[in-house]
Chain A
Amino acid sequence: MKFLDAFCGIGPWMHRDRLLPYQPHEILGLLDHFGIDQALVHSNFSADGGNAEWGNERLIDACNQSGGRFLPCLSLRPNPHRDECTMDGYLDLMRSCGSRSLWLVPSNLALWPWFFEDVANACIRHRIPVFFHRDMTNPEQLHQFCQAFPGLRIVLVGVGYGDDWWLYPLLRRFENLHVCLGHFYIPSHGPMRFLDHFKANRLIFGSGLPHFSPGGMVAHLMYADISGADRALIAGNTMEHLLNEVTL
């Protein structure tokens, strides 16, 4: 069974704790330890508020030197200035570096549909899965965003064990919304309970590296009382399928 970590950052960031690894070779070593085959990686620098283009350049370099273990997930922070990368520029960059997903970084926690219209429509057109972190939005904004762009393939990361009360209704309404396990979507009775309500292809394995260690998540999935096919979908097949459907 293939493990593809859909939630993994690399490189330095502003508020790093001294215990946390950040260099690409350190992350590769951890992937080996935890038995993870590949990781869809984003730039810690960009995700933490740094210049997205700066972070993306270094991310692409690291991916190119990873022997195919790192798959680039470029960070996108919309910016109105003409000298910044446009959506067409992003699509060209994605084509050139083999990126098939975007890490959306809304400024000031503002996931406004009108603001992201061009980005979302381009991603729908090219079937590009878009990631964003639960801490960068709130359930009401997320609902508005999903409602405005029902065809957009969204992977929500950073959801917690106590979020089911609003997450389940949202998942019922929007079939293109996916939930990443990382870094703490660990409600009691684990994936079994989720699969009573939704198909396995709505749940995606991810760790939250380097902030969070993948061991608990791997065990959460490997001990789950679910079919081997469902386990494989969660571990990596669904994410891989989403990436393969991109039409860039």
Chain B
Amino acid sequence: MTRPLIEYGRQGIPVDFPVFDMHMHVGSFGTSKSPDLSVQVAEMERIGIQWAAISAVEGLYGDIPGGNDLVADAMRRYPNRLIGYCHVSAQYPDLIARELERCFSIPGFKGIKVYQTGTDYDHPLYDPVWEFARSRCLPVLAHTWGGNLTGFDRAAARFPDVVFMAAHSGSGFVYQPYIDAAKKTLNLYLDLTYSREHTNMIEQFVTEIGADRIVWGSDVPTFSMSQQLGKILFARISDDDKHQILYRNAARLFHVKVG
């Protein structure tokens, strides 16, 4: 690990440290069929990504039990590569307790995923989710967009023992609300998964928040795994901070031993 991390990106060298992708999906979107899961995992192996935490695209679009089944099946196929998020939604409050109990009886589920679908994250309907996360010591990943955290930061403030990870931090180049929220709420983490790579934004997050509360994910099969990885490999931050972001934080939050 003596090679500067930027050199991995410059030369396309498979990484030889245990990168942990904390934001990956299985399943397909409507306008573009995703590569098969085996292709996705082969790409992880080729690039050197050791672990990925997955949720299912189909769950995001409303089939919550079906999506969680897809995650369980993927983890059974690749138990040494994939861990799962149990997806729940306040649009289907009747499913929340049932899906949480069902998912966490299956080995491999280690986090909870929620999505912006019309109910703010600080609505009381979500309280059982945060209570469950607290009781089981589970991190929560929420879709956010364009600086609009839709109550995720407020929920985090009310449940300081739970790790809240705000996906797509800085999306739309709206970075200040994420910085402000993370400064106020110490259990709020910033997930850098985002298609674009605004110049100097990652550097700004590290300066303002510190690498200890920034996590890396690819959002595959939406985006390119290597492009997302390259954002960190080439960032103008220290290599120690890059290691922190690429796997140390996620390993700690998901209680996964890496390396």
Contacts and interface: CB of A to CB of B under 8 A. Distances in A.
Contacts of A209: 199
Interface residues of A, number: 38
Interface stretch (A69-77, A120-128, A183-191): A183-191
A183 B196 contact: yes
Interface string A10-27: 000000010111000000
A193 B198 CA distance: 25
B204 interface: yes
B200 A186 contact: no
Contacts of A183: 196-197
A240 interface: no
B8 to A, nearest CB: 8
B228 A216 contact: yes
Interface string A136-171: 000000000000000000000000111011000000
B199 A212 contact: yes
B231 interface: yes
Contact of A222 (B11, B34, B223, B228): B11
Given A21-B200, A164-B32, A219-B12, A224 B195 contact: no
A50 interface: no
Interface stretch (B39-47, B77-85, B151-159, B249-257): B39-47
Contacts of A215: 9, 197, 230-231, 233-235
A161 B9 CA distance: 21
A218 B225 contact: no
A212 to B, nearest CB: 5
A165 B150 CA distance: 31
Contacts of A30: 199
Nearest to B29: A162
A183 B225 CA distance: 15
A219 B227 contact: yes
B200 A19 contact: yes
Contacts of A188: 34-35, 40, 220-225
A132 to B, nearest CB: 19
Contacts of A35: 10
Contact of A190 (B175, B224, B236): B224
Nearest to B14: A223
B148 interface: no
B229 interface: yes
Contact of B224 (A165, A187, A211, A214): A187
A162 B31 contact: yes
B200 A213 contact: yes
Nearest to A183: B196
A190 B230 CA distance: 13
Contact of B234 (A34, A189, A223): A34
Most A C-beta atoms less than 10 A away, residue of B32, B47, B220, B224? B224
A193 B10 CA distance: 22
A156 B69 CA distance: 40
Nearest to A35: B10
Given A188-B35, A217-B230, A219-B229, A225 B197 contact: no
B226 interface: yes
Given A165-B32, A189-B43, A219 B234 contact: yes
A197 interface: no
A81 interface: no
Interface of A: 17, 19-21, 30, 33-35, 160-162, 164-165, 183-184, 186-190, 193, 209-225
14 contacts: A34-B234, A161-B195, A186-B224, A189-B224, A215-B230, A215-B234, A216-B230, A217-B230, A218-B234, A219-B233, A220-B230, A223-B226, A223-B230, A224-B226
Given A189-B221, A219-B227, 12 more contacts: A19-B198, A20-B200, A33-B236, A35-B10, A184-B196, A188-B221, A189-B35, A213-B200, A213-B231, A216-B224, A216-B228, A222-B10
